[in-house]
Amino acid sequence: MKNAYILISTSFLAFALVCASAQNQNNVRNRIEGTERPSAENQVASAKSAISNSENGDVSNSDTGALRPVILKSKGISSYFGYDSKYFYRSNPLATSGKLKQQATGMWTNTFFGGAGLGVYDLTDAVITPYIGASWTSNDYIKGGLDTFNYNSTGAYALLLAQYSNGWSARVGITYSNDRSTENDTEDYMEFHPNIGIMKTHSINDSTNGIIDLSIGRHNSESFVITGLKEGTKTASEKELSNTEFAASYSIIYSLSKFEITPKYRASFRTYDKGLNDGRDDLSQDISLKVDYPISDSFKLSLFSSYTKRTSDGTSVNYDFKSYDGGLGLGLNARF
């Protein structure tokens, strides 16, 4: 009888550990899908923005999409580096379905990035600038007992940017991303992301610009999944987060005294074709507002908020989620 009791207890404990491990892996996967990784285009534009603002106050030179090469050296390499620190509230940090508030927490992220423009090349009706760069981000959950999900992200990119005289710009590039668990020192996620995009900046009035951005990219990923998990005839795959993404955004940059106010709407459609996610389609929408205030030529203070909603089809698992962010940021940008 004693041996039977020990066997039952051991079996129950093993089952509980398996369930806890599966839930933890699901939480990690949800967190990965809800992560907004640093954008190579934004890092390039952030460095360019700080320089152009210090040289002249024209809002057209400070937008994220203009990517004007006139502030780069006409020959050789023009290098830049930056640092962004953000502390903010996140209502749904693990991107789970259900109510808007899911284990709400405070988050603190710190991003260091650097890169270089590899010269400026004139064509008949365009100016071409190649860029390379890299970044590292620490992501810490400050409240809510979620510190076991803290992670660090590494990124690298190569971009080729073309600015045309009619206000359009085009880009083609590839980005590498890697997420590692701080607590376990394990790789949770890795991807290569080749992408192309076009952008149009237009003037609304003397102090306001509008920006249209369209892009297509392929996320070739490997992720931490539950080994042997099955759903019908499908089996979990480490590549199941691989997808093709179509994205469009429109933002307005308004200059008010020293303040720069940027409302933005972005929509993306992702179609998955691997593992349990084969046949899954996601539509994500994000509405954000950012207010920047320059403390000096190199430092700026930011207030920001955003609301994100995702709806998912083509799978029996509910991947829908909503999330709200709001917080404060400090950025440093320099060129040498």
pLDDT at 102 over 80: no
Q: What is the pLDDT of residue 130?
A: 94
pLDDT value of residue 59? 39
pLDDT of residue 253: 95
- What is the model's pLDDT at position 229? 66
Question: Which one has a higher pLDDT value, 297 or 329?
Answer: 329
- The pLDDT-based confidence of 231 (bands split at 50, 70, 90) is low
71 or 274: whose pLDDT is higher? 274
Report long-range pairs for 281-287 (Cβ below 8 Å, ≥24 apart): 281/312, 281/313, 281/314, 282/243, 282/310, 282/311, 282/312, 282/313, 282/319, 283/310, 283/311, 283/312, 284/308, 284/309, 284/310, 285/309, 285/310, 287/263
Task: Give the tokens for residue 113.
Answer: 């990035």
Task: For residues 245-265, give the mean pLDDT.
Answer: 96
Model confidence at 119: pLDDT above 80: yes
Cβ neighbors of 56 (< 8 A, separation 6 or more) are none
pLDDT of residue 1: 54
Res. 62 pLDDT band, cuts 50 70 90:
very low
37 compared with 277, residue with greater pLDDT = 277
pLDDT of residue 64: 36
Top pLDDT among 115 and 315 is at 115
Question: Per-residue pLDDT tens for 168-218?
Answer: 999 999 999 999 999 888 899 999 999 999 999 999 999 999 999 999 999
Q: Report the candidate in 254, 335, 260 with the shortest Cα–Cα distance to residue 295.
A: 260
CATH of the domain at 238: 2.40.160.40
- Return the HEC string of the chain: CHHHHHHHHHHHHHHHHHHHHHHHHHHHHHHHHHCCCCCHHHHHHHHHHHHHHHHCCCHHHCCCCCCCHHHCCCCCCEEEEEEEEEEEEECCCCCCCCCCCCCCEEEEEEEEEEEEECCCEECCCEEEEEEEEEEEEEEEECCCCCHHHCEEEEEEEEEEEEEECCCEEEEEEEEEEEEEECCCCCEEEEEEEEEEEEEEEEEEECCEEEEEEEEEEEEEEEECCCCCCEECCEECCCCCCCEEEEEEEEEEEEEECCEEEEEEEEEEEEEECCHHHCCCEEEEEEEEEEEEEECCCCEEEEEEEEEEEEEEECCCCCCCEEEEEEEEEEEEEEEC
**What is the pLDDT averaged over residues 85-102?**
88
Contact predicate 67/138, CB 8 Å: no
Q: Compare 228 and 246 and report the one with higher pLDDT.
A: 246
- The per-residue pLDDT for 53 is 46
The total number of residues shown for the chain amounts to: 336
pLDDT value, residue 50:
46
**pLDDT by residue (tens digit) across 179-192?**
999 988 889 999 99
**Res 286: pLDDT:** 97
pLDDT interval class at 248 (50, 70, 90):
very high
**pLDDT of 245 above 90:** yes
pLDDT in tens, 262-317: 999 999 999 999 888 899 999 999 999 999 999 888 889 999 999 999 999 988 88
Predicted confidence (pLDDT) per residue in 133-151, tens digit: 999 999 999 987 899 999 9
**Domain residues for 61?**
2-335
Counting the structural domains of the chain, the total is 1
| pLDDT tier, 48 (very low <50, low <70, confident <90, very high otherwise) | low
